[in-house]
C-alpha cells in the first residue's frame, strides 16, 4: 500500500500571509481507473492534482495516494482509510464519475458520507458546461466524513485544473471550487489553508481571516 510522502520544500519557496506558523496539511489523492491501476497506461490524475495543489497551497503538504480500480467497495474502503486511519484533512478523487456502468465513484463517496456538500458538484458542472454540453453527464459529488472534506474531480488533467482554479477570464468569470475549500476546513476544525493568490484566492469572511504578515 502506498505510504505518505512529505513535500519538504513548500515553506522554503513561498511565504505565508500570517504571523502564525504555516500549518501542515494531509491530503489524500485517489485515482480511480481500471486500466491505470492495472498498468495498461500511466496514471495522470494524481500527478495533475499534485501539480496544481503544489502551486496553489503555501502549506507543507503530506501526500497520501491511492491508485485503485473502479470497484465501489474498494473506493469506499480507500476513502475510509484515508480519513479514519491516515487522518487526511482533504481527500480528492479523480475518475469514475460519468454515466458508464463502471463509473461508481460518486456512489462509493456517498456511502462514506456524514454530510453531502452539493454546491461543489454544481459548480464543477457549471464550469465544464462552458466547454462541452456533455458536462451534464458528470456526477461529481462532495461530502464530509468526520472532520475531512472529500471531493470528486473530473478525470482529465485540464478539467481538474479548470474546476479547481475556475475561469477568471470568462464572461462572466466562473469561480473555481477550491476558493471555498479553506474556509470549509476551518469550519470543520482543520488546518488553516493558505493559498498563492496568483493561482487561487481563498475566500473567507473577514471574521475568519488571520492578520496579514508585516
pLDDT at 168 (0 to 100): 78
Q: pLDDT-derived band of residue 71, with 50, 70 and 90 as boundaries?
A: very high
Q: In the block, which residue shows the cell 500571509?
A: 17
Q: Which of 113-127, 133-147, 156-170 has the lowest mean pLDDT?
A: 156-170
Task: Considering only CA atoms, give the Rg of the chain.
Answer: 17
Q: Which of 2-16, 56-70, 164-178, 192-206 has the lowest mean pLDDT?
A: 2-16
Helix axes 118-128, 157-165, angle to 10 degrees: 120
Structural domains of the chain sorted by starting position, each given as residue range(s) with its CATH number in brackets: 23-208 (3.40.980.10)
Query: With contact defined as beta carbons under 8 Å apart, do 60 and 22 qualify?
Result: yes
Phi, psi of 171 (to 5 degrees): -125, 100
Q: Cell triple for residue 29? A: 489523492
2 or 184, higher pLDDT = 184
16 or 20, higher pLDDT = 20
**Nearest CA-CA partner of 124 in 111, 138, 113:** 138
Is residue 7 pLDDT above 50, yes or no? no
Question: Tens digits of per-residue pLDDT, 74-102?
Answer: 999 999 999 999 999 999 999 999 999 99
Q: Which of 44-53, 88-97, 163-172 has the lowest mean pLDDT?
A: 163-172
Q: What pTM does this model have?
A: 0.89
Q: Report the SS3 class of residue 10.
A: helix
Is residue 111 pLDDT above 90, yes or no? yes
Q: pLDDT-derived band of residue 173, with 50, 70 and 90 as boundaries?
A: confident
pLDDT at 18 (0 to 100): 57
CA distance 124 to 69: 23
Amino acid at each position: 500500500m502506498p505510504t505518505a510522502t512529505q513535500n519538504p520544500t513548500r515553506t522554503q519557496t513561498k511565504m505565508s500571509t500570517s504571523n502564525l506558523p504555516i500549518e501542515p496539511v494531509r491530503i489524500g489523492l485517489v485515482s480511480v481507473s481500471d486500466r491505470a491501476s492495472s498498468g495498461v497506461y500511466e496514471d495522470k490524475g494524481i500527478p495533475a492534482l499534485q501539480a496544481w495543489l503544489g502551486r496553489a497551497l503555501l502549506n507543507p503538504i503530506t501526500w497520501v495516494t491511492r491508485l485503485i480500480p473502479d470497484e465501489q467497495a474498494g473506493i469506499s474502503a480507500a476513502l475510509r482509510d484515508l480519513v479514519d486511519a491516515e487522518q487526511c484533512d482533504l481527500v480528492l478523487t479523480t475518475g469514475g464519475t460519468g454515466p458508464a456502468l463502471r463509473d461508481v465513484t460518486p456512489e462509493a463517496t456517498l456511502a462514506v458520507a456524514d454530510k453531502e456538500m452539493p454546491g461543489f458538484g454544481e459548480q464543477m458542472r457549471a464550469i465544464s458546461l462552458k466547454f462541452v454540453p456533455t458536462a451534464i453527464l458528470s456526477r461529481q459529488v462532495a461530502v464530509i466524513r468526520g472532520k475531512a472534506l472529500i471531493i470528486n474531480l473530473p478525470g482529465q488533467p485540464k478539467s481538474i485544473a479548470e474546476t479547481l482554479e475556475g475561469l477568471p477570464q470568462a464572461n462572466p468569470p466562473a469561480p473555481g471550487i477550491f476558493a471555498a475549500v479553506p474556509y470549509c476546513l476551518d469550519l470543520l476544525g482543520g488546518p488553516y489553508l493558505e493559498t498563492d493568490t496568483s493561482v487561487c484566492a481563498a475566500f473567507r469572511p473577514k471574521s475568519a481571516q488571520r492578520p496579514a504578515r508585516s
